[in-house]
Structure 1
């Protein structure tokens, strides 16, 4: 599966700062020192509907991570999956009377278009669950053969007790885990499981649903968590720098994935930092496909909204915060974009070197994009009020905003 085209990232003078970022597992800031190649895995979409603002906010956060690393002159090895076979996708295809593969391809293509418009840097490896199945099956067989998985009525489950570090990502108690498991795709009440929290690794073939050769597992399809583990281990290995996604993935998805990988390899941890973006709401509730309270990137683009303004709307909120989408936040972003473009269109302006360092420091401090935007606001206001004599300043600001914030002026 191919990703989307990369926009050029301007090179800036000087050196960026190492990233300090909030790690869910330790509930504190950690300073990442990835070495010459930074490794990041971000969980992708289940393509049964268009990209909404919640998706966009999540991918914007991890785009900033990449940009901070690139500014430190590191290379970035970024991997993202597409869950192109799963219950919600199959259910939507049945509801709409369409082929599930066609639906997945259509929505994945639209997602690529949205990411391109928003100038999100693409992953080096963009892998669908279906194409990963040949690598998933041997992992499930290894877990089973090691006693870390068991069969139940043809399905194969992971035993959470096989990983002594289970629970160390989300740090939730058993009652909270059980509740979230039921809400987020698990089946804690299924009779016969060794532990209610045990997640499915391989689902035996169901009538009327797609299935693949699972070797000694029989025909079926993979569980949600093992999909990402297989892709991450194949392309990044253990101990990669950042595992990213929305805050609703901390449990069960990232918790279970970490345990799968740790049981497979005997190494800990799977990732050095587990980083989670907040939720975007609409009309008082989290924006989600199941609720239908969505604002789509593609719809805004069709209405003629500048993608740079959409991105500025996202950047105006700290990535870990939960926030509400309103018409006003978009209008504020459009006004900000106009001010910035007017400021950099002048032939000269106030010196900008200090501004570049302010943006760098803000982003290095747990991706504080609101502080970065406020710094640019101050430069633009000074440009409007007093102007300046530095003929290179507008170009410096334009390149810095593009390179570090992904906004083309």
Structure 2
């Protein structure tokens, strides 16, 4: 028995995935030829499959013009896959030629295609059906239209709910279309008579019109755009493995319908970059890490949200790493006034503090790697000074030796032994 959704729901969903139910759909050129019809059968398969399941060999153009042949082929071929591999395996076979639906190759990946088909099948409401018997099974081929959500209906019309809600005229028309279950063609025809339509860009009008006149090209354009969005998102630091569907939908819409260029898309995507486990990815991640390092080297601190905000700006192109570096250096110069000129010129406060760090390390016998500008002795020497001048090293070392840790060091014991030995020598009791 086939697993997953019933065949009628599965077939309806796959049909929507491939062509939106359009028997006249023609796919874009591929290394294997174009795909034809409602179920997008590749050209090399048309001849053999029509001979076997329709009883007559057809050319791709004849197949495109013959609805009965298309239905016979899909029921014969897909029905066999469904019986043998279940719904997921059948969807994978139809898409990739392999029953393993967990594969990650393809655009979109096989598993995404299969999941999309299966998830949509759950929304099939039933209704009147046309029975088909073949390959030992009886299938019910969907003849009823499913009830769509408003967002799905808007997408069917080539629009987004955000765009629809931006115009009272458009909202009224859309409400009327939903209430009357208008076809996409009827909605588009009515849309073109509105004042809203006449005020829109040619890019948007072309996008909406293409959805109805050439759905195969419209679908391919969206697939290409999705790949581009994925690339741009990765560049600015969005975790593409966790990108929600709405983010893809909106980005693709802004790209194709509104004609946003790559720079604007990156700016918008950059605002969606998140911090995960204290890290960011892509260009934002590089800026995030660079800002952290620079702030550390100059003894200034900021919140994680500050780093994230500035990193997003850099990834979006509304700021630069140099601008943010200048801000950090200005703050460091204000803190370590005696070294302001060197810090503004590009030297780091931590490097300028090297003599103090070395003294603390030697006197208190602490590894230099464990000492930075957060050390109280080092900070006070760098930020205090004498009337804006460098703090004298001899005075700095005298202060460090007053620390209780000094008494516990070998240095202190050796110094004490030396003093005691000198006293004994002075009294003639030692040589």
Q: TM-score, normalised by structure 1?
A: 0.22
Give the number of the structure whose residues are more often strand, by fraction. 1
Structure showing greater relative contact order (alpha-carbon pairs closer than 8 Å, 6 or more residues apart): 1
Structure number with higher helix proportion: 2
**TM-score normalised by length of structure 2:** 0.21
